[in-house]
Structure 1
Amino acid sequence: MRLQGKVAIITGSASGIGRGIALAMAKEGAHIAVVDINEEKGQETLKELNELTESMLFIKDISKPESVTEIVQAVVAKFGKLDILVNNAHASRQALFADTTMDMIDLSFGTGFYPTFHFMQAAYPELKKTKGKVINFASGAGLDGQPTQASYAAAKEAIRAISRVAANEWGPEGINVNLISPIALTPGVEAWKQSAPDMYEAMINRIPLRRLGDPEGDIGRTAVFLASDDANYITGQTIMVDGGSIKLR
């Protein structure tokens, strides 16, 4: 129970990678605030979490900057503190670089970069009290410059940039800030697998470990490690949980 009694906010945790992280952390004893725009899926995840341990919370994220402080305050009011912030939520649309529009840029930054930025600022006073952990999300789309991913890659690299700044500034106060860059079999990828099996197989063959990560068993367990005392001497790092697809130097 490496996270026994810890309190975590996990954005985008109604499904996919966020849900996997929530389940992994709950099984290690953490209290989870499920923050997601999808209330139906969020309540389903909350029910799963409450079957593992009591005292979980769902908060609907309406994706407005002013709501972020209210979310942090609501979590602290219920649990008394905040130890872990996981900024997972992000939405984007794919297009060739020449066809990328400002609406696409605004969507990616509005659902990914800006919420990450605002949550970090709002959570900082509480994380300072608990010497807490921040886990943000990078992507191979930005690290490798994947085609059709201009808006997503830009937002993800911007998140990496502010994470490194925060790691330097907040390190003396005992706050760790790290990133996970995942490849995972999410519901969306599962649907794509069914509709384009040849393309899916080709992608698998480019991954050295020849499989996609499990949202809970691979991505979630990595998040548990980064949120635990075992990772107290790690900060400002991008952890590649991608089956060996990208090797950082």
Structure 2
Amino acid sequence: MTSTSLTKHARMTILVIEDDRKTGDYLKKGLIESGYQVDLVRNGTDGLHQALANSYELIVLDVMLPGIDGWQVMSALRAKRDLPVIFLTARDQVSDRIHGLELGADDYLVKPFSFTELVLRIRTLLRRGVMRESDTYKVADLHVDVLRRKVTRKGIDIVLTNKEFALLHLFCKHQGEALSRTLIASEVWDMNFDSDTNVVDVAVKRLRAKIDNAFEPKLIHTVRSIGYSFGEDS
């Protein structure tokens, strides 16, 4: 760890809410060595209190906690605060991951985990957090509430999957820009896809069916040989 890296993170404080003593101590020690200040709490009730009473740049949160569980902590936290949260848990079912993200978590990492991967994810979220995005967007008669994951058009509720919402959120942040399929794949799926994979086009088609097909004006536009743009004008 270089002195420059330590200085960069020195003022960033992370709250770890983890009841397993060995895991909690390991996380605290490792994150301190990575240049962060760390508060460690071992139950959900105290963790929520700490999260609401203090200023943290990020929270690492377990699900299975004494007191109130991680789901309850996340729900109560999102009602009052907007800061990056990573679930770090042994709950490895897809339904658990979806539930955590739907509650408003920014990331979900399953135990056993790579500490290096955790630190990389933390750094990614903190970089994003330097430039906080808008919590709400209005494009024509489309309304997007990012924190509540709520989408309406002409006052009609529109239910989106996590990936559809992530795609719409990306479009909202880059209105009027031509976004390539590669960029969309990287941002929404956090990975690169081969050029012959049509996952982006399929996802856009599904999103169009929900937010565009029955409405005017159309908001999603195909940009020939590039990808897609979003907004009232093509």
TM-score by length of 2: 0.42
Hey, which of these two has a bigger chunk of helix by percent?
1
TM-score by length of 1: 0.40
Hey, which of these two has a bigger chunk of strand by percent?
2
Q: Which has the higher contact order (CA 8 A, sep 6+)?
A: 1
